[in-house]
Structure 1
Amino acid sequence: MPRPLSSRRQFLTQSSLAAGAAFGFPAIVSSRSPNAKVNLAFIGVGGRGAANIQALVGTSLYPSKAKNAKTDSPPPAPQEPTENVVAICDVNGMNLDMAASAFPKAKAYRDFRKLYEGSKDFDAVVVSTTEHTHAYATLPALLMGKPVYCEKPLTRDVAEARLITEAAAKAGVATQMGTQIHGLPNYRRVVELIQSGAIGKVTDAHVCVSRAWGLQTKEEAEANKDIVFVTERPREEQTPPPYLDWDLWLGPAPYRPYNEIYFPGPKWYRWWDFGNGTMSDLGSHWNDLPFWALNLDAPLSVEAFGPEPHSEIAPASMSATYEYAARGPRAACKVHWHQGSAKPEVWKNDPFISKWNSGVLFIGDKGMLLSDYNKHVLLPEADFKDFQPPAPFIPDSPGQHIEWLNAIKNGSPTASPFSYAGPLSEANHLGNVAFRSGGKILWDAKAMKITNNEAANRFLSRTPRAGWKL
């Protein structure tokens, strides 16, 4: 049974969250020079973890050993890290050894619970683990009053998202969810257009994502060659690779024997115990745009459509409709999510829109706006040929990583703090909850309860395995 939540936990409205974010954060290096290096701990140092290390300290864990083909010169010498890496942690020994070679003075751990026992060594934490351990690696830092950068999605489920949101609000430290697209100029220009009324009152937004990570048909699996075709939990028990601590990799998830079907990523994404398929992962990027542009918070209801829910595997293709109430100048609206082979009629029938593999289509009473990560267009184009966009009013970002470091050093705000990323993650998770419950759910955000389907509430949280707690 899912663990009951404390009755004192209340939903933080988007208006109060935005107000808190506007004031920034107390700088943790205020007693030192603003140019002082931050002592960082990295939990997860392979894949996204290695990318985050390079973005935050300027050191690549995968330097090219090949000589320049034209000059026959050796690769350039590694640069001095811009910040201090004082602690590293990974359940994958190969990743850990590679990071230890780059940062020989850093303390190395396999278990992040042990890392936190040495919390005096570091100022801030970067979490790049599999998503089913995000909350468990993030919460201790917040409780210690340490800034956190956590990869998307912020948590595995709704209850964890609410807990992390509230803990971050109480901690008052610099936080950032790793949604790098949020920091690119295109999204900012789209938000400015929507919020300045370029297409009028927006009542619908369609989010269309081509990725189909989940329970696929054989035909879908063949079309997505990077995804392993699987329809049930494997019965074969295999020996984990010698460099992998399988028990620590499982963390709070229920125990199951190792099988190569789960590891390495992105194989684990499709399993409910470890991830959330496409919705909560790419929802962090794609639903981010309407969530930001339309100033959304908690939905009133979510209705999902798709194949029969599988008890263990997320769907490859599905759709969901979110209903949001009017608030202030914001009109009541619906956000429609479509993934995999599920496409809205406008995507199928419009010859221009259908060419976009993935995107967000805003529908207003004066026109439409279509956007992907890097470009956008106002539609019909002929109606907007003389349109002059508003002067930019959302400052461009130096990049999410630099934003977070600046927030730590001088108290400036970040673009995707947990006050924003938490409610966004909740909404994304609710799409999966609606799908798993087999229909429409009515959501009481303040009570954090589904009111029309008691059985569906079991999908909001889970009881962790012995030895793990939040």
Structure 2
Amino acid sequence: MADSRVSRRFAMKQMAAAAAFCAPSAFRSHAFAAPSETVLHASFGASGMALADIQSLSASKHFKLVAVADVDLARTEQVQKLFPGVKIYQDWRELLDKEKSLNSVNISTPDHMHAPITMSAMERGLHVYTQKPLTQTIYEARRLTEAARDKKLVTQMGIQIHSHEVHRTVVATIQAGAIGKVKEVHSWSGKDWGDRNPRPARQDSVPAQLNWDAWLGVASPRSFIEGYYHPGEWRKRLDFGTGTFGDMGCHILDPVYASLALTAPKSVRSDGDAPNSDSWGLDNRVRYVFPKTPHTTDELTLHWYNGAQRPSEEVKSLIGKRAMSDQGSIYIGSEGVLYSPYIDAPILLPDDKFKEYKLPNPGGNDHYVQFIEACRGNGETSAPFAYSGPLTETVLLGCLSTRFRKTTLEWDAAGLKVTNVPEANAFVRKSYRSGWEVPGL
């Protein structure tokens, strides 16, 4: 009986967090810069997505990049050209120890280092913008969510489409009841961040400007293999990335999670590829069952597909003769269907029924500038960890399920455990290697 009460309390908390898409954030800092001041910022990562994040944050006139840390110094040249005078570090821990004047940071590293760096930054009272997925494990996501709440820091996950007009239109349309109560959702991505081949049996020389031990960070030691991990293929690897599902699930399932005010799933099942000993599978097909919300029928079934997997012909027929987008979602409601191509205007179906329907126009805003302004005490972020933490937990549970294909996993969110397959719980949390432990994780 006690476990039931805890679960209900947890579900209510998650429902409230999901509603944060439209409600003010609970995160306030006691150390905001005054509105007239500049936000002093550091980046963990100097190129690729990290550089894109830095440039997007710099759209705010109140942003100043003070320092960056990147384990590969060869990848710091462009940021030094764009931001003359920026300090360069190779060890993220040294940056945090030495740069005492910072207000905020972004964490745009491989997935396995998101949680260690984010938690360490929050322990120093810094506001954090962390790329998706927020963490690599469910346990880490829970701990970051709790730490952000307790420390009252400004937080934002890098799901920038969350603030885009088309995303907000999907959410507003579903919540306006245009297609009635939603009973089923099908979401997919054509990306294929996975690998069926074994790890190459070779050892290559580490490039002179790459600190390979620091790149491994909390992961177990192994030999450097050129082109297999760094700079981009790490997404495919079990110890460093989260495959296509973790990479794109936080984007594509974000409007599903927000519009339907979903809480933690009751169960999850994978009928697609399983990972091999080193890499995530290529073609995933995962099914979740969620508890009822004000925007759904009784239970909601959510289907995820990636790689070569796609919804059935019956589901595809719901969008008529339209070519199915490479990424997107189909919401099936009691009064109609909403087709949502990824980062494109939603379409209500059948056409005849909705030809006169005017979609809501909630507008959009800049996800990055929103973060900088929240750090200055102006407004709130729309994807704080109170929202993006539980969203990440849901996505990562789907990733976990692919390790136990054709098995329905019953999920106890309050207890952070699979109740019917005990061996699955070994993947809810991971151990950090000796010397890389982080307090709070």
- TM-score under structure 1 normalisation? 0.85
CA contact (8 A) 1:304 1:435 kept: yes
| Large movers: runs of 4+ above 6 Å | none
For 1:309 and 1:95, locate their aligned partners in 2 and report how far apart those are by CA, in whole Å: 30
State whether structure 2 residue 233 is matched by structure 1 residue 264: no
SS at match of 2:411: strand
State the shift of 1:295 in Å. 0.6
Shift of 1:330: 4.3
Alpha-carbon offset, residue 58 of structure 1: 4.5
- Residue 426 (str. 1) matches residue 393 (str. 2): yes
Give the distance between the partners of 1:357 and 1:328, measured in 2 at CA.
30
Distance 2:154 2:388 in 1: 13
Q: Superposition pairs for residues 3-402 of structure 1, below 5 Å?
A: 13-17=13-17, 22-26=24-28, 32=34, 34-58=35-59, 82-216=62-196, 231-328=197-294, 330-331=296-297, 332-345=299-312, 346-349=314-317, 351-372=320-341, 373-390=343-360, 392=361, 394=362, 396-402=363-369
> Contact (CA 8 Å) 2:27, 2:155: kept in 1 or not?
no
SS in structure 1 at match of 2:364? coil
In 1, the alpha carbon distance for the partners of 2:210 and 2:368 equals 28
CA contact (8 A) 1:300 1:444 kept: yes
In structure 2, relative to structure 1, the CA distance for the partners of 1:11 and 1:44 (3 Å cut) is farther
Q: Which residue of 2 aligns with 1:403?
A: 370
Aligned AA for 1:26?
R
Correspondence for 1:441 = 409
Indicate conservation of the 8 Å contact 2:257/2:391, yes or no. yes
Q: What letter is aligned with 2:223?
A: P
* Bigger Rg over Cα: 1
Could you say if the C-alpha distance between residues 292 and 401 of structure 1 is closer, same or farther in structure 2, counting changes exceeding 3 Å?
A: same
Q: Percent identity?
A: 34
Structure 2 contact 412–418 (Cα < 8 Å) conserved: yes
Match of 1:450 in 2: 418
Q: Aligned to 2:200, what secondary structure does the other structure show?
A: coil
2:161–2:251 Cα contact (<8 Å) kept: yes
Please give the alpha-carbon distance, in whole angstroms, between the structure 2 residues aligned to 1:282 and 1:202: 22
Question: Hey, what's the Cα distance between the residues in 2 that align with 1:370 and 1:149?
Answer: 30
Q: Which moved more, 1:444-453 or 1:397-406?
A: 397-406
Distance 1:368 1:157 in 2: 33
Decide whether the 8 Å contact of 1:347 with 1:353 is kept in 2: no
Q: How far 1:31 moved relative to its partner?
A: 6.2
Shift of 1:141: 1.6
Name the CA distance, whole Å, in 1 between partners of 2:316 and 2:192. Answer: 18
Which is further off, 312-321 or 115-124? Answer: 115-124
SS at 1:248's partner residue?
helix
Alignment-mate amino acid for residue 437 of structure 1: F
Deviations for 1:159-215, whole angstroms, at most 9, x for unmatched residues? 111111111111111111111111110111111111111001101000021111212
Aligned to 1:469: 437
User: Which amino acid in structure 1 is aligned with residue 237 of structure 2?
Assistant: W
Q: Count the aligned residue pairs.
A: 423
Contact 1:91 1:248 survives alignment (8 Å): yes
Cα shift at 1:326: 1.3
Q: What is the CA–CA distance in structure 2 between the aligned matches of 1:330 and 1:411, rounded to whole Å?
A: 34
One-letter identity of the residue aligned with 1:136: P
Q: Check conservation: 2:159, 2:250, Cα contact below 8 A.
A: yes
Contact 2:269 2:409 in 1 (8 A): yes
Maintained 8 Å contact 2:179/2:334? yes
Secondary structure of the corresponding residue to residue 374 of structure 2 = helix
In 2, are the aligned partners of 1:87 and 1:107 still within 8 Å (CA)? yes
Q: Deviations over 1:210-246 (max 9, x none)?
A: 1112125xxxxxxxxxxxxxx0011100012112111
The residue identity in structure 1 corresponding to 2:429 is S
Once the two structures are TM-superposed, the CA of residue 443 in structure 1 deviates from its matched residue by 0.4
- Per-residue CA shift, 1:405-461, capped at 9, x if unaligned? 111112411111111111111111101111102321100000001000000111112
List runs of 5+ in structure 2 lacking aligned partners. 1-5
CA shift at 1:39, angstroms?
Answer: 0.5
Q: In structure 1, list runs of 5 or more residues that go unmatched.
A: 1-6, 60-80, 217-230
Q: Secondary structure at the match of 1:35?
A: coil
Deviation at 1:108, TM superposition (A): 2.1
Q: Offset at 1:398?
A: 2.6
Cα distance in 1 between the residues matched to 2:115 and 2:42: 16
Distance (Å, rounded) in 2 between the aligned partners of 1:415 and 1:363? 26
Distance change (3 Å), C-alpha of 1:447 and 1:25: closer
Give the whole-Å Cα distance in 2 for the aligned partners of 1:352 and 1:188.
26
CA distance in 1, matches of 2:254, 2:46: 26
Deviation at 1:25, TM superposition (A): 3.7
Return the letter of the residue paired with 2:327: S
Residue 420 of structure 1 aligns to a residue in which SS? helix
Over 3 Å counting, the alpha-carbon distance change for 1:340 and 1:140 in structure 2 is same
Secondary structure at 1:99's aligned position in 2? Answer: helix
Structure 2 CA distance for partners of 1:355 and 1:17, relative to 1, 3 Å: closer
Query: How far did residue 50 of structure 1 move?
Result: 0.8
> What CA distance in whole angstroms lies between the structure 2 residues aligned with 1:155 and 1:27?
23
- 1:54 to 1:289, Cα distance in 2 relative to 1, 3 A: same
Q: State the alpha-carbon separation in 2 of the partners of residues 137 and 31 from structure 1.
A: 22
Does structure 1 conserve the Cα–Cα contact (< 8 Å) formed by 2:181 and 2:295? Answer: no
CA change 1:111–1:46 in 2 (3 A) is same
CA RMSD of aligned residues (A): 2.2
- AA paired with 1:15? M
Structure 1 stretch displaced more, 12-21 or 407-416: 12-21
